[in-house]
């Protein structure tokens, strides 16, 4: 919008200087410089990084939007600062300004330019969301996702939110439930996010995955980790007293290490898995206290189905 608005400024008065041209000349190099810095210098370090394809898609979107937003903001600022220096009221000048009620060409240009930018952004965002390479950009897509990874069988991980802890079930490994989150690198992951009590939100920051954990709802999100390393999981929806402490670390490891870990844990936890309700996409929260009792009978404490009664917070 900026360029067009400057170009459409009214012709200068005789003898006056061409304010529109001045504003344009200040704006153009500033905007170009800002865009270059944003895209090439700061761009590769923009959050949330590039640890997975969905994180990369978010980083790319943020980068593109920054590059579009900066010139617009700089135009408004340059114009405003220019006005405040050039057109400020001088002492003793009691005349009013010119009676300028509008300018058809400028108004039309502004409206067209903003509309073009906005429609481009909407199209761009939709394309990014639907493009198979990004597979829904890591956002929760509900029980029947429309945008899935193009190829590869995803590893399924069920994320179970409860006050105030996340646990993970691995249905392809006998459905064991663990407080640890391990993922293989380079393989698509399908998170099935659900909750046992209130609404939580599974946010794996570096992986660029965010999906609400709703009770009774299976919310699916996809990602493909690209690098080995640790990532942070936080609850991103206020869920009660210890919402701020509902966090843990996940690990992206090599495929072999993941297989080894999963098979070892499956055997280790077999006796506990037998006590759990069979793997399902959602669980009836009323059975949770019963699980808790079963756990206590088996002498097991910890995160595996442990249930904090409301109003009785246990410091994690």
Partner 1 sequence: MAIETQPERAQGSGGGSPARGDGARPWWRRPAIHTAVLGAIVGYVLGHLLGNFLTGATGAANQYPNVALSDSEDWPIVLGYLLAVVGWFAGLGVFNDVFRQMLGKPANGNGNGHEASGLARYFRYSLDHKVVGIQYLVGMIIYFCTAGLFAMAIRTELLSPVNHVFTSQVYVEIVGEHGTMMMMLMTSVIVGPFGNYLVPIMVGSKRVAFPRIEALSFWITPMAFLILLSGLLLGGFPFGWTGYAPLSIQSTVGADAYAMAFGLMGISMILAGFNIIVTVICYRAPGMRWSRLPMFVWAMFTTSFLFVLAAPVLVAGMYMLLMDRTAQTAFFEDTLGGSSYLYQNVFWFFGHPEVYILALPGFGIVSEIIPVFCRKPLFAYRVAGAGMIGVGILSFFVWQHHLFDSGINPDMRPLYMLTTELISIPTGFIYLVALGTFWKAKIRFTVPMLFAIGMYFNFLIGGVSGVFLSDVPADTTEHGSFFVMSHFHYTIMGGLIFALMGGIYYWLPKMTGIKLNSRLGKWHFWLMFIGFNSTFLPLFAVGMAGQPRRVFEYATNLTGLNDWVSISSYVLGFSILLFVINFVWSTVIVRERETGNPWRSRGLEWQIASPPPPGNFDQVPVVLSGPYDYGVKDAQPVADLHPPVGVVTAALAPYSSAGAEA
Q: Which of 22, 39, 242, 261 binds partner 1 (CB under 8 A)?
A: 242
Residue 153 found at the interface with partner 1 (CB under 8 A): no
> Which residues from 251-280 bind partner 1, rule CB under 8 A?
none
165-189 burial: b if 16+ Cβ within 10 Å, else e: bbbbbbbebbbbbbeebbbbbebbb
Residue 53 found at the interface with partner 1 (CB under 8 A): no
C-alpha Rg value of the chain to the nearest Å:
27
| Sheet (strand 165-170) strand order | 176-178, 165-170, 155-162, 189-195, 219-223
Residue 32 found at the interface with partner 1 (CB under 8 A): no
Tell me whether residue 41 or residue 99 sits nearer to partner 1 (CB atom).
99
Q: Structure tokens of 275?
A: 């006590």
d(C-alpha 210, C-alpha 48), whole Å: 12
The span of 32-40, 42-50, 173-181, 293-301 binding partner 1 (CB under 8 A) equals 42-50
Task: Supply the DSSP string of 44-78, one letter for each residue.
Answer: GG-TT-SSBHHHHHHHHHHHHHHHHHHHHHHHHHH
Tell me whether residue 100 or residue 256 sits nearer to partner 1 (CB atom).
100
Residue 99 found at the interface with partner 1 (CB under 8 A): yes
Beta carbons of 58 and 208 less than 8 angstroms apart: yes
In the complex, least distance from residue 121 CB atom to partner 1, rounded to whole angstroms: 5
Tell me whether residue 159 or residue 262 sits nearer to partner 1 (CB atom).
159
The span of 176-184, 249-257, 263-271, 305-313 binding partner 1 (CB under 8 A) equals 305-313
Tell me whether residue 126 or residue 254 sits nearer to partner 1 (CB atom).
126
Question: Residue 162 — φ and ψ, nearest 5°?
Answer: -150, 160
The span of 151-159, 174-182, 196-204, 254-262 binding partner 1 (CB under 8 A) equals 196-204
> Which residues from 106-135 bind partner 1, rule CB under 8 A?
106-107, 110-111, 114-115, 118-119, 121-122, 124-126, 128-130, 134
Question: Dihedral of CA 269/273/275/281: which sign?
Answer: positive
Residue 142 found at the interface with partner 1 (CB under 8 A): yes
């Amino acid at each position: 919008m900026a360029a067009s608005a400057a170009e459409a400024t009214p012709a200068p008065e005789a003898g006056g200087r061409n304010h529109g041209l001045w504003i344009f000349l200040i704006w153009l190099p500033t905007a170009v410089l800002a865009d270059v810095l944003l895209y090439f210098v700061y761009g590769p370090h923009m959050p949330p990084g590039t640890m997975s394809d969905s994180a990369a898609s978010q980083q790319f979107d943020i980068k593109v939007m920054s590059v579009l937003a900066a010139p617009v903001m700089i135009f408004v600022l340059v114009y405003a600062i220019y006005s405040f220096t050039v057109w400020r009221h001088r002492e003793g000048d009691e005349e009013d300004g010119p009676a300028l009620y509008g300018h058809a060409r400028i108004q039309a240009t502004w409206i067209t330019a903003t509309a073009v930018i906005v429609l481009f952004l909407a199209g761009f965002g939709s394309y990014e969301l639907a493009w198979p390479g990004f597979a829904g950009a890591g956002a929760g897509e509900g029980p029947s996702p429309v945008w899935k990874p193009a190829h590869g069988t995803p590893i399924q991980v069920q994320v179970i939110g409860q006050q105030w802890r996340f646990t993970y079930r691995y249905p392809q490994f006998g459905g064991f439930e663990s407080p640890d989150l391990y993922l293989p690198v380079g393989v698509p992951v399908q998170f099935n996010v659900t909750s046992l009590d209130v609404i939580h939100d599974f946010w794996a920051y570096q992986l660029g995955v965010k999906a609400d954990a709703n009770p009774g709802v299976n919310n699916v999100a996809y990602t493909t980790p690209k690098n080995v390393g640790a990532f942070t999981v936080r609850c991103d929806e206020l869920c009660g007293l210890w919402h701020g402490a509902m966090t843990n670390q996940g690990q992206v490891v090599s495929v072999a290490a993941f297989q080894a870990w999963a098979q070892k844990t499956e055997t280790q936890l077999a006796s506990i898995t037998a006590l759990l309700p069979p793997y399902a996409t959602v669980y009836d929260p009323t059975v949770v206290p019963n699980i808790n009792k079963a756990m206590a009978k088996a002498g097991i404490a910890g995160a595996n189905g442990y249930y904090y009664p409301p109003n009785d917070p246990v410091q994690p």
